[in-house]
Structure 1
Amino acid sequence: MEEIFYSIDFPYTFKDGSMIINSDCMTVLPKIKDKSVDLIFADPPYNLGKDYGNDSDKWKNKNEYLSWCYAWVDECFRVLKDTGTVYIMNSTQNISYIDVYIREKYNVINNIVWYYDSSGVQSKHKFGSLYEPIIMANKSAKCKYTFNGEDIMVEAKTGAVRRLIDYRKTPPQPYNSKKIPGNVWEFARVRYRMSEYEKHPSQKPEALLERIIKASSNAGDIVLDPFSGTFTASVVARRLGRKSIGIELSEDYYRIGLRRVLGLSEDKESDN
């Protein structure tokens, strides 16, 4: 995997097709060669002041934050193959700006809603937020991209469950029992004491990443996560037979990656 980099001068550990990197993504991304990556999942800080232990979620104003977002978005599309796909998450406050930027320069395939129930305290003065938006995009509307619909089929809860017959077909036949999911996805949030739980303020569930990686990559493809956090994308990619590159600024979270992805002790020094 090292061959896709122009140079490697940052701390990283590599094992069996999985690379975890302890650095700023804007230091690493420019060193990746053009059109090298098959799938990118980007879940950056949202500029909401969450505690990642290093003040990495605070910008002076929205314009400064969005300029930073546009910079890494452009780098992601540069390293993406023409047949590749990018999934980008952000807050409801920011996603519309990023969506417009991508539509003007690249191509938005889908706008996805990740819906979850919340047992937390909700606002008493407005409707509480129970979802996070996801943009699915590629380089151009003319580019073909991987979409393995058969690998992510879900139960069809209408006619198939009730065993209804579609009489519009000749001869009449039962409705399909499986279907490709729509663009509203319901996955539980990662909670304390769940087997996949790590101490992180915005950990994403493995089930969410499994759907993305199954749908938009094939075995042996390279999956890149420039804001790895607890390295869930890398964990799932490894389990599904993909190669992965996970970039994380925090040394504490990098050490989680050593354990979760590579099965190494968290106190192990980088191999490089």
Structure 2
Amino acid sequence: MEIINNKIAIIEKVLGKPYYKDERTILYNIDSLKGMELLSHKKLVNLTVTSPPYNIGKEYEKVMSVEDYISWSENWINLVYENTEENGSFWLNVGYMPIKDKGKAIPIPYLLWDKTKFFMIQELIWNYSAGVAAKKSLSPRNEKILWYVKNQNKYTFNLDDIRDPNVKYPNQKKNGKIRVNPLGKNPSDVWQIPKVTSGKNRSAKERVPHPAQTPIELFKRIILASSKKNDLVLDPFIGSGTTAVISKSLDRYCLGFELNKDYLDIAIDRIKNEKIDQQPLF
């Protein structure tokens, strides 16, 4: 506890009074690049998990040129690197964007995957059933998650905490011994998790008034896999507060940045009132 208390004290000393703070959460109403730059080289963060703007014209973003978006992304991603402990991880959830005269739905990982000092472990596919219906192309039903680590030889990975109990042959034996881990199998790199849908008849239970809400189950698996209890989890684009809700419920600490006070107020309400299950669902 002394380590995390020291980290929180450093954050407050550097960044000043937070917009919101409780026993597991500290949120700031400032630009994430500014916040991370002020904290850079402190190396306080164990895990960063986030879903940044996709540059597609959502209400919280101003559309940039492709070149400017890549440059902006490279800046904030490398600030994440400077804030990460030696054995820390970074999970980046991104979708698609159009590029004029080049393509309609270009996967953002194609543009960003190597714009960082982090070492990339692998790409995961987040597959969901509901989404936009297309008329002149296939209907999109997935986004990507890039998993990075700072030190490829030493990083936190809690496989047992995210094992998939849905084993096809749970009693299969070899030389008289059960072959399958009793906790389940290693999950694949394709995760089937519903989106946080909206609408009168199909609105998800966890839905709040945010235009791009990340589902709890998606980030919960990541936080369970790549952090330990009392670790510090950073979300530079905290939005509706999903990362903070999960971190608090799983006995982690969360540092979040958000420019929009309305979103912060939504996040705070969720942090105070929303509870989640401790284990991931499959």
Same fold, judged at TM 0.5 (above): yes
How many matched pairs? 250
Aligned runs of 1:43-62 on 2, under 5 Å?
Answer: 43-52=51-60, 56-59=61-64, 61-62=65-66
Equivalence for 2:112: 98
**Once the 2 structures are TM-superposed, how far is the Cα of residue 242 of structure 1 from its aligned partner?**
0.5
Equivalence for 1:37: 45
Instruction: State the structure with bigger RCO (CA 8 A, min sep 6), 1 or 2.
Output: 1
**Once the 2 structures are TM-superposed, how far is the Cα of residue 156 of structure 1 from its aligned partner?**
3.5
Alpha-carbon distance between aligned partners in 2 of 1:173 and 1:90, rounded to the nearest angstrom? 39
Does residue 122 in structure 1 map to residue 128 in structure 2?
no
Equivalence for 2:74: 70
Equivalence for 2:212: 202
- TM-score, normalisation: structure 2: 0.83
- TM-score, normalisation: structure 1: 0.85
Alpha-carbon distance between aligned partners in 1 of 2:236 and 2:11, rounded to the nearest angstrom? 15
Q: Indicate if the aligned counterparts of 2:88 and 2:151 stay in contact, CA closer than 8 A.
A: no
Equivalence for 2:191: 185
Does residue 133 in structure 1 map to residue 144 in structure 2?
yes
Q: Indicate if the aligned counterparts of 1:190 and 1:205 stay in contact, CA closer than 8 A.
A: yes
Aligned runs of 1:140-155 on 2, under 5 Å?
Answer: 140-142=151-153, 144-155=154-165
* Structure 1, 205-214 or 28-37: larger mean CA deviation: 28-37
**Once the 2 structures are TM-superposed, how far is the Cα of residue 84 of structure 1 from its aligned partner?**
0.6
In structure 2, the residue corresponding to 1:253 is in which secondary structure? helix
* Structure 1, 34-43 or 233-242: larger mean CA deviation: 34-43
| Percent pairwise identity | 30
The alpha-carbon distance between structure 1 residues 256 and 172, as it changes in their structure 2 partners (threshold 3 A), is: closer
In structure 2, the residue corresponding to 1:154 is in which secondary structure? coil
Q: Which runs of 4+ in 1 moved over 3 A?
A: 172-177
**Once the 2 structures are TM-superposed, how far is the Cα of residue 98 of structure 1 from its aligned partner?**
1.1
Alpha-carbon distance between aligned partners in 2 of 1:222 and 1:173, rounded to the nearest angstrom? 37
The alpha-carbon distance between structure 1 residues 50 and 36, as it changes in their structure 2 partners (threshold 3 A), is: same
Equivalence for 1:224: 234
**Once the 2 structures are TM-superposed, how far is the Cα of residue 174 of structure 1 from its aligned partner?**
6.0
The alpha-carbon distance between structure 1 residues 5 and 11, as it changes in their structure 2 partners (threshold 3 A), is: closer
Q: Per-residue CA shift, 1:133-167, capped at 9, x if unaligned?
A: 0001012323x11111111111244222xx5x34x
Alpha-carbon distance between aligned partners in 1 of 2:239 and 2:62, rounded to the nearest angstrom? 13
Equivalence for 2:176: 171
Q: Cα RMSD (Å) of the superposition?
A: 1.9
Equivalence for 2:260: 250
In structure 2, the residue corresponding to 1:64 is in which secondary structure? helix
Alpha-carbon distance between aligned partners in 1 of 2:224 and 2:94, rounded to the nearest angstrom? 21
**Once the 2 structures are TM-superposed, how far is the Cα of residue 91 of structure 1 from its aligned partner?**
1.9
In structure 2, the residue corresponding to 1:29 is in which secondary structure? helix
**Once the 2 structures are TM-superposed, how far is the Cα of residue 175 of structure 1 from its aligned partner?**
4.4
Alpha-carbon distance between aligned partners in 2 of 1:251 and 1:100, rounded to the nearest angstrom? 32
Equivalence for 1:88: 92
Q: Per-residue CA shift, 1:160-212, capped at 9, x if unaligned?
A: 2xx5x34xx21264645611211110111112343321111211111111101
Q: Indicate if the aligned counterparts of 1:42 and 1:226 stay in contact, CA closer than 8 A.
A: yes
Equivalence for 1:270: none
Q: Per-residue CA shift, 1:10-44, capped at 9, x if unaligned?
A: 75221113101111101111122431100101211
**Once the 2 structures are TM-superposed, how far is the Cα of residue 100 of structure 1 from its aligned partner?**
2.3
